[in-house]
């Protein structure tokens, strides 16, 4: 059976309000012929739910700014409850004196058929606070084209001072980050220069003196014993050259490990752990999940996780006083995670939050640049656990 079309009608139940208002609009739906149930209650409930769920201040006003509807956000922003606001003139309740005439003029324009978009007028709250709102105002018409009211939707606008402060804060953070990067670069240059001076400079100076001794010995040699001394000196010089080559390789590996490029992250971390254990005497174990061994990681992920692990091991050497370190590399839910755990004295909370923790902030920024995150937790006397996770699913797929 075909039902007659549904039409939207407006019920205006009588309600005595202050300021001479007698009626408040409500929307209900009716079928002709009238069904056994009343869907108008459902429509009114949906309308009310949408009104209250909105994150904007929503008002239904008369052309004279009398408040006919007032949702919860409007209550929060203004400090006036709906029972206190309904029936009163909005311009007198919530607008500064200098804004009232212009707002009434805009309401009159809307009542004549125009729409208003982005009208910025402050709302004066009950506690004398002001909130700048951007208003969109349009007409609400009944089924016969009659004007029910003017719907005003207000969106909070950040004051220019807040925007300026946010920009200044962002610029300050950018400058601070740039200074940190520059400081880290200079610190690395200083470290390399110190190693070049201490290791290579001294070794090369020693070789220079040894070569000078060899020259003098060859010039004045008259006995075979002199030649045996010369041979021993040459052998010592050869050992110095081997040590110097080892120092060169170690420095090059610290700058950019070839194993990371040639064999991948897992062998590079294993080599890093072995070197760390030999250099410090701290026992270092590595646990790699099987899924990681079978996956091919992008270069940026491998470098970031390697550098973070390298920095964490450096922190263990400097601060932890640990006897054991455990490194775990795992992959789960599209995230590659490296965790470094030690049994040292535990990182102090104030050190994690101090602005001078450049190493920690550097690791956080390395992970954040790849869309990941870094965390570190310490227990006094119970060691420290640091984790860095980086998303890899999309990168591997691409």
Give, in degrees to the nearest 5, the angle at Cα 229 between 228 and 232: 90
d(CA 162, CA 168): 10
Q: What is the mean pLDDT of residues 297-303?
A: 84
The better pLDDT of the pair 130, 20 is held by 130
Q: Output the CA torsion 218→220→221→222 (10° steps).
A: 150
Instruction: Decide: 316 and 344 in contact? Cβ < 8 Å.
Output: yes
Return the top range by mean pLDDT from 171-180, 240-249, 273-282. Answer: 273-282
Q: What is the pLDDT of residue 380?
A: 84
Q: What is the pLDDT of residue 25?
A: 41
d(CA 212, CA 354): 54
Tokens coding 353: 């939050």
Q: What is the mean pLDDT of residues 214-227?
A: 67
Q: Is the same domain home to 191 and 142?
A: no
Residue 244 maps to a domain: yes
Residue 179 maps to a domain: yes
CATH number at residue 289: 3.30.565.10
Domain span including residue 380: 259-398
Q: What is the pLDDT of residue 357?
A: 66
333 SS3 class? coil
Residue 2 maps to a domain: no
* pLDDT tens-digit readout, 352-394: 666 556 678 888 888 888 889 999 998 888 899 999 999 986 5
Tokens coding 11: 């019920």
Nearest CA among 154, 144, 39, 33 for reference residue 90: 154
d(CA 122, CA 154): 10
Instruction: Decide: 341 and 325 in contact? Cβ < 8 Å.
Output: yes
- Number of domains the chain is built from: 3
Give, in degrees to the nearest 5, the angle at Cα 300 between 299 and 304: 115
Choosing from 217, 232, 255, the residue where a domain stops is: 255
The better pLDDT of the pair 15, 174 is held by 174
Lowest mean pLDDT among 48-52, 71-75, 144-148, 257-261: 257-261
* pLDDT tens-digit readout, 245-260: 777 766 766 666 667 7
Instruction: Decide: 327 and 284 in contact? Cβ < 8 Å.
Output: yes
The answer to whether the bond into 33 is cis (omega within 30° of 0) is: yes
Measured CA distances, 150 to 23, 137, 283, 373 (Å): 14, 7, 75, 48
Mean pLDDT (the chain) is 77
Q: Is the same domain home to 77 and 109?
A: yes
Nearest CA among 104, 106, 138 for reference residue 119: 106
Q: What is the pLDDT of residue 2?
A: 41
Residue 123 maps to a domain: yes
Q: What is the mean pLDDT of residues 52-72?
A: 90
Lowest mean pLDDT among 124-128, 221-225, 260-264, 283-287: 221-225
* pLDDT tens-digit readout, 84-122: 999 999 999 999 999 899 999 999 999 999 889 989 888
Q: What is the pLDDT of residue 297?
A: 80
Q: What is the mean pLDDT of residues 41-60?
A: 81
Q: Output the CA torsion 335→340→346→352 (10° steps).
A: -50
Q: Is the same domain home to 12 and 142?
A: yes
Return the top range by mean pLDDT from 14-28, 190-204, 293-307. Answer: 293-307
> Any alpha helices (H) in the chain, and if so which ranges?
40-53, 72-78, 82-85, 90-94, 97-111, 160-195, 202-220, 224-255, 258-262, 265-280, 290-293, 299-315, 349-353, 358-369, 393-397
Which of the four pLDDT bands, split at 50, 70 and 90, describes residue 127?
confident
Residue 37 maps to a domain: yes
Its pTM stands at 0.45
d(CA 109, CA 360): 59
- Asked if the model's pLDDT at residue 327 lies above 70, the reply is yes
Q: Is the same domain home to 150 and 166?
A: no
Choosing from 115, 141, 157, the residue where a domain stops is: 157
Q: Is the same domain home to 166 and 151?
A: no
- State the pairing for strand pair 283-288/324-332: parallel
Q: Is the same domain home to 211 and 299?
A: no
Q: What is the pLDDT of residue 31?
A: 36
Q: What is the pLDDT of residue 353?
A: 60
- Asked if the model's pLDDT at residue 156 lies above 60, the reply is yes
Rounded percentage of the chain residues whose pLDDT exceeds 70: 73
Return the top range by mean pLDDT from 15-29, 173-187, 334-348. Answer: 334-348
Residue with tokens 């946010």: 166
Lowest mean pLDDT among 50-54, 266-270, 346-350, 377-381: 346-350
How many Cβ atoms sit within 10 Å of the Cβ of residue 153?
Answer: 17
Return the top range by mean pLDDT from 26-40, 205-219, 325-339. Answer: 325-339
Q: Is the same domain home to 205 and 338?
A: no
CATH number at residue 107: 3.30.450.20
Choosing from 217, 235, 255, the residue where a domain stops is: 255
- Measure CA 200 to chain center: 43
Q: What is the pLDDT of residue 232?
A: 76
Rounded percentage of the chain residues whose pLDDT exceeds 90: 27
């Amino acid at each position: 059976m075909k039902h007659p079309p549904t039409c939207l009608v407006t019920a205006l139940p009588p309600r005595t309000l202050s300021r001479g208002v007698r009626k408040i609009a409500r929307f209900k739906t009716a079928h002709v012929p009238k069904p056994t149930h009343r869907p108008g209650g459902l429509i009114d409930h949906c309308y009310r739910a949408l009104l209250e769920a909105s994150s904007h201040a929503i008002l239904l006003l008369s052309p004279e700014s009398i408040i006919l509807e007032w949702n919860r956000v409007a209550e929060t922003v203004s400090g006036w409850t709906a029972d206190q606001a309904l029936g009163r003139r909005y311009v007198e309740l919530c607008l500064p004196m200098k804004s009232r005439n212009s707002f009434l003029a805009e309401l009159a324009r809307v009542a004549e058929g125009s729409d208003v978009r982005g009208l910025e007028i402050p709302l004066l709250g009950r506690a004398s606070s002001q909130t700048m709102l951007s208003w969109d105002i349009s007409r609400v018409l009944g089924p016969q084209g009659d004007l029910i009211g003017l719907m005003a939707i207000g969106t909070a606008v950040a004051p220019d001072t807040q925007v300026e402060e946010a920009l200044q804060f962002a610029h300050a953070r950018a400058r601070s980050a740039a200074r940190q990067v520059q400081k880290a670069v200079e610190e690395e240059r200083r470290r390399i220069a110190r190693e070049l001076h201490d290791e290579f400079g001294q070794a090369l100076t020693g070789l220079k003196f040894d070569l000078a001794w060899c020259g003098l010995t060859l010039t004045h040699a008259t006995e075979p014993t002199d030649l045996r001394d010369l041979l021993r000196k040459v052998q010592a010089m050869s050992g110095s050259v081997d040590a110097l080559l080892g120092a060169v390789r170690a420095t090059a590996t610290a700058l950019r490990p070839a194993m990371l490029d040639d064999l991948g992250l897992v062998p590079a971390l294993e080599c890093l752990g072995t070197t760390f254990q030999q250099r410090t005497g701290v026992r270092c174990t590595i646990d790699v999940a099987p899924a990681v061994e079978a996956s091919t990681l992008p270069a940026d992920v491998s470098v970031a996780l390697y550098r973070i692990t390298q920095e964490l091991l450096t922190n263990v050497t400097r601060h932890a006083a640990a006897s054991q370190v455990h490194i775990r590399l795992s992959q789960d839910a599209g995230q590659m995670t490296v965790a470094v755990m030690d049994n040292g004295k535990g990182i102090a909370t104030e050190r994690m939050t101090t602005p001078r923790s450049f190493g920690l902030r550097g690791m956080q920024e390395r992970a954040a640049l790849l869309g990941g995150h870094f965390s570190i937790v310490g227990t006094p006397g119970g060691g420290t656990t640091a984790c860095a996770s980086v998303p890899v699913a999309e990168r591997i797929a691409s």
